[in-house]
Amino acid sequence: MSQSTTRASSAPRASASGLTRVYLLAYNAISFCLWATCVIRGAMLVFSLAPNGHLPAIFHHIYSPLLTTTQTLAGLEILHSLLGIVRAPVMTTAMQVASRLLLVWGVMYLFHDRGDGHGGIVGGDFHEALPYGPGAKVGDYAFLGCLGAWGVTECIRYGFFALQVWGSGVPSWWTWLRYNTFYVLYPIGISSECIMVWKALKPAAEWNPLYWWFLVVVLVIYVPGSYILYTHMIAQRRKVMKKKGRAE
């Protein structure tokens, strides 16, 4: 599932040491820069490649090593929670990070078009020099939905935590973005993720029937799970904004 904008996975505990704060500042700043690179590069590629039907080529420009490195780095958040240096619950953090890693490695990596004639659910345009490309598949649009929703959400989230750890205070407009943009970004992200998993079912069945069943279970969990998480985020948003209003 898309990571919650309300999850305090990278916010330090009040008792965190100076070294821990330096580490978390570096971690959040690096993550912010990586996600910002994903978003900016993705937007530039859309404007340059999409008009001529080369949208599938965007996947190959972004996926590896940029997106794989950026998202895999988030696995450290589970370790942060286990060690107790941040305030996030371990189980929630693990589930949210694992769902993203499943999409990046268990769907995009396994079932993208490698140009070997077997096709794939995403990517596959290896001739950008041609005046017109083959056009996009459903998976290509879903990939861009994931990239956009994940990227903007994480830029806001990691930037928020970096400022918080730095201690200079978080601007009110950044706080507003953190607790309001999920209304739009979460549905885009979760629907794009579900589409990616759905499109992966056919090649998964050919690759390994057990993996097909695993993805089916994932989809069954995604639907109610996304609704529960979405309503939880709305409740958390109300709590935070109400508290912020009183403070002002």
Report which of 114, 109, 133, 111 is spatially closest to residue 124, judged by C-alpha positions: 114
Question: Which member of 158, 179, 193, 230 is catalytic?
Answer: 193
Half-sphere exposure of 247 (CA within 13 A, CB side): 7
Query: What's the CA gap between 105 and 108, in Å, rounded?
Result: 6
Question: Which member of 186, 206, 211, 222 is catalytic?
Answer: 186
State both tokens at 3. Answer: 């990571």
| Residues making up the chain, counted from first to last | 248
Query: What's the CA gap between 72 and 69, in Å, rounded?
Result: 5
- For the question of residue 248 being annotated catalytic, the response is no
- For the question of residue 186 being annotated catalytic, the response is yes
Report which of 198, 188, 196, 197 is spatially closest to residue 230, judged by C-alpha positions: 188
Q: Using an 8 Å Cβ cutoff, are 74 and 85 in contact?
A: no
Torsion sign, CA atoms 161, 223, 199, 214: positive
Query: What's the CA gap between 181 and 179, in Å, rounded?
Result: 6
Query: What's the CA gap between 138 and 33, in Å, rounded?
Result: 29
Catalytic residue annotation:
186, 193
